[in-house]
Amino acid sequence: MTTLSRTELSLPSTWYYDPDHYAVELEAVWYRDWVCVGRLHEIPRAGDYFVATVGSQQLIVTRDNENQLRVFHNTCRHRGSILCTNEQGRFPNGRIICPYHTWTYSLTGALLATPARLPVDDFAENDYSLYQVNSACWGGFIFVCLDDTPGCTLESFLGSEAQIMKHWPLAEMISVQQDRKLLACNWKIFWENYSECYHCPRVHPELCKLVPLYQNGVLSYTDTPNWRPDDASDDGRPRVAPGLATWTLDGQTGLPVIPGLDEHEIRNGVNFASFTASMFVVAHPDYVRSVRVLPRGPESVELIVDWLLLPEVAETYAGEIDRMLDVGRLLIEQDGRVCEINQRGLRCVQHKHGVLVPQEYSLWEFHEWLRAKLEDRAL
Ligand code: FES
Ligand SMILES: [Fe+2]
């Protein structure tokens, strides 16, 4: 990635609040790409489930009796009632039962029974299985693709970003804390904020102490003029200040280093992987934080933040967990505030577009990515 060599226009302001445009983005991005909806550890046994919402679509995420992940639309094939009214739970006896007229489905989605239905010749249970949704897992994260024919496999969707995380044992790690936060802004505003560190000196003074590079308002050492690598392995990624270990308020940790990391991953103290548009992962030598992003309306986005540890570490070092949460919570607070004020200014009738400055190249790439997805849609 290189910095922009000229100013670029930001996206049209209306794209951040117009309900029709929001609907187009749901179709073009959220109902086509792979979207992270949770962790496998949330449903450890057959019949455990949780309900996930992507745009206007409600999904049941469960495991069948073979322990295979299964995702269905949360809609009964009879007359369309919601099947699960709770956010999470366990299907008794492995049966998914509609609360309206008791149509009963198996954990593989097959319609098993239609109690008290009067007989008729042309009714076949086989015709009314639950609506299935494509699903796949990576690193213990559950992804869904609402498109019947996904444009690519999950693996190719994740691409090289998954490789960045290859030394972290993500699949084994468990969430020891989950925070949810609703922000009054469009989902793109949050991604844009994540895509630049131009705001860091003003908005994140604590973070700038941990990562001195950020005081320059850039994301990478390669963005700064006249940068030269320290050695052949130095690719310019951000790193914590000398003497610091990780992202805690004082940069210190009582948690052990995760086995398998290399010396650069330990020295840098932070490593990012982005899975636009539903998640990014921030991996440290001692813990991992995932931030999931789900649009909740044209001017509303929900963030779901999980802090992950290896189970044995979570048990042995329970007293260290609070300190691990502080920086992530502070960042969400600080970023959330500026995202919301960003949103509020966009209805100005004269502000048709913003403008991007050189270090906002990653934001521009995000815009190009989105424009490509919207290319053949009527806007
Ligand atoms: S709507 Fe589900 S059984 Fe009637
Ligand atoms: Fe930020």
CA of 199 to the centre of ligand 2 (A): 7
* Distance in angstroms (rounded) separating the CA atoms of residues 327 and 348: 34
Atom number in ligand 1 closest to CA 101: 3
* Distance in angstroms (rounded) separating the CA atoms of residues 108 and 130: 8
CA of 102 to the centre of ligand 1 (A): 6
Q: Which CATH number fits domain 8-17+167-374: 3.40.190.10, 3.40.50.300, 3.90.380.10, 2.60.120.260?
A: 3.90.380.10
C-alpha distances out from residue 272 to 72, 323, 357, Å: 31, 20, 22
User: The tokens 């919601």 sit on which residue?
Assistant: 82
In this structure, what are the phi and psi dihedrals at residue 37, rounded to the nearest 5 degrees?
A: -120, -5
User: The tokens 């494509």 sit on which residue?
Assistant: 134
Please tell me the number of the ligand nearest to residue 113's CA. 1
Q: Which CATH superfamily is domain 33-138 in?
A: Rieske [2Fe-2S] iron-sulphur domain (2.102.10.10)
Q: 210-246: per-residue pLDDT in tens?
A: 999 999 999 999 998 888 888 877 888 999 999 999 9
pTM, two decimals, is 0.96
Q: What are the residue boundaries of the structural domains of the chain, listed by start?
A: 8-17+167-374, 33-138
Q: 236-262: per-residue pLDDT in tens?
A: 899 999 999 999 999 999 999 999 999
Please tell me the number of the ligand nearest to residue 77's CA. 1
* Distance in angstroms (rounded) separating the CA atoms of residues 154 and 282: 20
CB distance 137 to 128 below 8 Å? no
Average pLDDT over residues 102-118: 98
Cα-to-chain-centroid distance, residue 201: 25
* Distance in angstroms (rounded) separating the CA atoms of residues 327 and 321: 12
Q: 277-326: per-residue pLDDT in tens?
A: 999 999 999 999 999 999 999 999 999 999 999 999 999 999 999 999 99
CA of 59 to the centre of ligand 1 (A): 17
Atom number in ligand 1 closest to CA 114: 3
CA of 26 to the centre of ligand 2 (A): 25
* Distance in angstroms (rounded) separating the CA atoms of residues 44 and 174: 11
What is the residue with the minimal CA distance to atom 4 of ligand 1? 101
Give the model's pLDDT for residue 51.
Answer: 98
Please tell me the number of the ligand nearest to residue 214's CA. 2
Atom number in ligand 1 closest to CA 81: 1
* Distance in angstroms (rounded) separating the CA atoms of residues 332 and 194: 10
Residue 281 exposed, middle or buried by CB count within 10 Å (0-12, 13-18, 19+): buried
Question: Ligand 1 pocket test: which of 79, 84, 117, 125 has the largest number of ligand atoms within 8 Å of its C-beta?
Answer: 79
Please tell me the number of the ligand nearest to residue 82's CA. 1
Ligand 1 contacts (CB < 6 A) are 76, 78-79, 81, 98, 100-101, 103
CB distance 122 to 111 below 8 Å? no
In this structure, what are the phi and psi dihedrals at residue 272, rounded to the nearest 5 degrees?
A: -110, 145
Question: Would you mind telling me the total number of residues written for the chain in this entry?
Answer: 379
What is the residue with the minimal CA distance to atom 3 of ligand 1? 101
Q: 90-101: per-residue pLDDT in tens?
A: 999 999 999 999
Question: Ligand 1 pocket test: which of 73, 77, 78, 112 has the largest number of ligand atoms within 8 Å of its C-beta?
Answer: 78
DSSP bridge partners of 92 = none
CA of 337 to the centre of ligand 2 (A): 10
CA of 136 to the centre of ligand 2 (A): 30
CA of 193 to the centre of ligand 2 (A): 6
Q: 158-170: per-residue pLDDT in tens?
A: 999 999 999 999 9
